[in-house]
Amino acid sequence: MESRGYKYSGSDDLNAVGWFRGNSKGAAVDLGSVALKKHAELFKDWTAEEKQTLVGLGTWPVGQKGRNELDLQDMSGNVWEWCWDLNGSYRRIRGCGWDGNADYCTVAYRGNSLYPDDRNIDIDFRLARSSGN
């Protein structure tokens, strides 16, 4: 199937296909508050107002947003996904997370490279398998 050239995976409207900082408030698990407590050193230079923007944000169950041309869901937003491609000895991440800005959710954006053993509250992976063909 040929791409329709959308900005996000399945639409030009991120709200229709992904969870990000602009719409993930009210999640069942408040990962924003968890991140602020667990990684306080990362937010030491943030103002109280900036920190408040993370409170209440988190991941959402898969499948609540629209599909892309390949019938896949949740490829933009919710959690960053580890990718197979390398940048030196680092792995790339794509897709953006529940705490990210819309610009990072575009299909063209490649996230910062990370060591394979790095862990973060907004990074995960997608299980996939070949069709056997």
pLDDT in tens, 39-97: 999 999 999 999 999 999 999 998 999 999 888 888 899 988 888 777 777 788 888 99
Q: What is the pLDDT of residue 82?
A: 82
- In this structure, is the dihedral angle defined by the CA atoms of residues 86, 118, 64 and 106, taken in order, positive or negative? negative
Residue partners of 50: CB distance under 8 A and separation at least 6:
43
Half-sphere exposure of 57 (CA within 13 A, CB side): 25
pLDDT in tens, 86-132: 777 778 888 899 999 999 999 998 877 677 677 777 777 666 666 76
Q: What is the pTM of this model?
A: 0.82
Render 42-97 in DSSP notation, one character per residue.
GGTTS-HHHHHTTTTB----TTSS-B-TTS-B--SSSSEEEEEEEETTEEEEES--
Length of the chain: 133
| Phi, psi (rounded to 5 degrees) for 105 | -90, -5
Q: What is the pLDDT of residue 33?
A: 96
Q: What is the pLDDT of residue 36?
A: 95
Q: What is the pLDDT of residue 127?
A: 67
Q: 3 pLDDT band (50/70/90 cuts)?
A: confident
How far is Cα 31 from Cα 16, in angstroms, rounded to an integer?
22
Q: What is the pLDDT of residue 16?
A: 97
Q: What is the three-class DSSP state of 11?
A: strand
Give the DSSP letter of residue 132: -
Is the pLDDT at 133 greater than 70, yes or no? no
Q: What is the pLDDT of residue 106?
A: 94
